[in-house]
Amino acid sequence: DMQKDFLYPGGFGAFLGNDVTLLQRTIVPIQAVLAAARGLGMLVIHTREGHLPDLSDCPPTKLERWSPGTRIGDNGPMGRILIRGEEGHGIIDEVAPLPGETVIDKPGKNAFYATNLAESLEAKAIKNLIVTGVTTDVCCSATVIAANDRGYNAFILSDCVASYSPERHAASLNTIKAQGGIFGWVSDSQSLLAGIKALG
């Protein structure tokens, strides 16, 4: 969910008072991982959290928790908040999908919920996932946990994920890798890139 509303200074995350520089540190390492993955011909899937303009795919509970003016569908600094097609909903230019790459629009936090992610993976018999993006403690963590229940091996790259809260970032990574990998594994981009290089 490398979306403008989460990462850009003019986006909704910043509007709420969050320090978006905490998220922006993921951009350069993700660019390196993306380049390596594309070079190997790996399946690259981008995700975006967001809803239909009429909010028919948004559970009322996801709206009720926020104050008016900061709710999904309200007018934010980069268009209606988390609404598909709005400027802030788009993926940041720095890691923009290439033509032909899969982009999954998801109404939930976990990327399997109400999407065709599982079908996209099954079509290529993929069982191992590398997870990057924002935010560690919300959508990335939810996706790794859902992937584990569905029988995937997911590993998350610590420098390619970030949260507005460094404490929750660390806690989420610790939870994922606890007990020998209760939900998945944690690595980093340097280790991944070194491993890829060693393959020759």
19-to-4, 129, 131, 134, 143 alpha-carbon distances in Å: 14, 28, 22, 13, 23
- Residues with catalytic function: 1, 106, 139
Which stretch in 18-26, 111-119, 132-140, 182-190 sits in contact with ligand C5J by CB under 6 A? 132-140
Q: Please report whether residue 1 would count as binding ligand C5J according to CB under 6 A.
A: yes
Binding positions for ligand C5J, 135-194, rule CB under 6 A: 135, 138-139
How near is the Cβ of 122 to ligand C5J at its closest, in Å?
A: 24
- Report which of 124, 111, 134, 128 is spatially closest to residue 13, judged by C-alpha positions: 134
On whether the CB atoms of residues 77 and 12 are closer than 8 A, the answer is yes
How near is the Cβ of 139 to ligand C5J at its closest, in Å?
A: 3
How near is the Cβ of 168 to ligand C5J at its closest, in Å?
A: 10
The contact pattern for ligand C5J, residues 40-69, with x = CB under 6 A and - = no contact, is ---------x--------------------
Which stretch in 72-80, 122-130, 131-139, 184-192 sits in contact with ligand C5J by CB under 6 A? 131-139
The contact pattern for ligand C5J, residues 12-41, with x = CB under 6 A and - = no contact, is ------------------------------
- C-beta contacts of 96-105 below 8 A and 24+ residues apart: 97/44, 97/46, 98/38, 98/44, 101/44, 101/45, 101/46, 102/43, 102/44, 102/45, 102/46, 103/45, 103/46, 103/47, 103/48, 104/45, 104/46, 104/47, 104/48, 105/47, 105/48, 105/50
Which residues would be at the binding site for ligand C5J (CB under 6 A)?
1, 49, 134-135, 138-139
